[in-house]
Amino acid sequence: MEQFPFVPKRAFFEPDALDYPLGQKIFQTLKELGVPIQNTPSHNRVTGIPGKTPQEQYFEGKNTMVVGIRRSKDFQTCKPSAHYQLPLNTSCSGKCEYCYLNTTLGKKPYLRVYVNIDEILEKTQEYINENVPEITIFEGAATSDPLPTEPFTGNLAKTIEFFAHHKYGRFRFVTKFTNVESLLHIEHNKQTRFRFSLNSDYVISKFEHSTPSLKERIAAAGKVSEAQYPLGFIIGPIIIYEGYKKEYNRLFANLRETLNPKAFPDLAFELITHRYTKKAKNQILEVFPHTELPMDEEKRQYKYGQFGYGKYVYPKESMGELKHFFQEQINKFFPEAEISYFI
């Protein structure tokens, strides 16, 4: 039986979606699962998602799936981690209080899946060809988590297989979810970096709603390491709270115990401290009015970013302490690993 970490309360189909075999397949699967299905003229004009308050709109949006076609031909850039975003889907079934997508996906952040995967991969091929003999890197999770909807689409598996045969292309994505079984036995040729977003038990239970536990994520990462994918981990947002060092230490210890040691030399860690914009704080408080996220400006430093707006980050002294602690932990448990960045 297929494992479905996410089953929507409702689904909408764009008119042309059923002209594609994948659209037909998703329609049939949703029907078998008893999900109510409606038509929509466009993903920009989805009516029928209930919700009067910001909280209702948010949670009902997160329980809605829109099946359609990715019409934009161009891919967005994705620096510094990759050259381009590779759009397999949009949004995520997780309900993380701090998520930056809360400021970009509107009041009803429904999940979108794309049925024209062959056209998307054809465009990917064009970008690779343009850049030969350089290697072009694509990020598959810039505006989404592609794993919750993978049982419906198979798009992630198809993309991994596509990159397995491309000398000048590389793929990477990140997930908080654990339904990895369908990806363990496909040919990847080490061309895809499979990354997991991890955090302490406290942060996950407090702020990362509707996502698997740390223990479940580490177990899934262990399976992926046995399948010999290059592995990576995003630890973030790193939050300072009483006892944080003990919990993050336990995270690294459990990770070392679980992963196949053959994965150690090629591990990469991305470390992201908690930060927020004024706009994000206001939207978080609309949806999660009782949030316990640390968002007291008095205890933060205001830092201008590269995109023309500022963020509230931890002050320099705290950042220095965090950087030292995490470097120490990674050097202790995974001395061969690379720290891609600390921000």
Q: Each residue of 22-36: pLDDT tens digit? A: 999 999 999 999 999
Picking from 101-105, 190-194, 210-214, 323-327, which range would have the lowest pLDDT averaged per residue?
101-105
- DSSP-assigned states of every residue in 140-192: S-SSB-SSTTHHHH-HHHHHHHHHHT-TTEEEEEEES----GGGSSS--TT-E
Answer for the pair 62, 49: CB distance below 8 angstroms, yes or no.
Answer: no
Q: Residue 105's pLDDT is what?
A: 72
pLDDT tens digit sequence for 116-171: 999 999 999 999 999 999 999 999 998 889 999 999 999 999 999 999 998 999 99
Coil/strand/helix, residue 286: helix
Place of tokens 């009483």: 242
The per-residue pLDDT for 305 is: 67
Q: Averaged over 332-337, what is the pLDDT?
A: 95
170 forms bridges with which residues in the sheet?
137
Of 36, 34, 124, nearest to 78 by C-alpha is: 124
Residue 252 has pLDDT above 60, yes or no: yes
Q: What mean pLDDT value characterizes the chain?
A: 91
Q: Is it the case that residue 309 has pLDDT exceeding 80?
A: no
Please say if the pLDDT value at position 255 is more than 90: yes
**Minimum mean pLDDT range among 4-8, 114-118, 333-337:** 4-8
Residue 307: its pLDDT value, please?
Answer: 60
User: Residues of the chain with pLDDT > 70: what percent?
Assistant: 98
Between CA 256 and CA 264 the distance in angstroms is 9
- Using CB atoms within 10 Å of the CB of residue 265, give its burial: 0 to 12 exposed, 13 to 18 middle, 19+ buried: exposed
User: What 3-state class would DSSP assign to 90?
Assistant: strand
- Cα-atom radius of gyration of the chain, to the nearest Å? 20
Would the pLDDT of 2 be above 60?
no
| 88, pLDDT greater than 80 | yes
pLDDT the model gives residue 1: 38
Quick check: helix, strand or coil at residue 122? Answer: helix
DSSP designation for 76? P
The residues that bridge with 112 in the sheet, in sequence order, are: 66, 90
Asked if 69 and 124 touch (Cβ cutoff 8 Å), the reply is: no
Beta strands 169-175 and 136-139 are parallel
pLDDT at 271 over 70: yes
At 207, the pLDDT band (50, 70, 90 cuts) reads very high
Amino acid at 307: F
Q: What is the pLDDT of residue 109?
A: 87
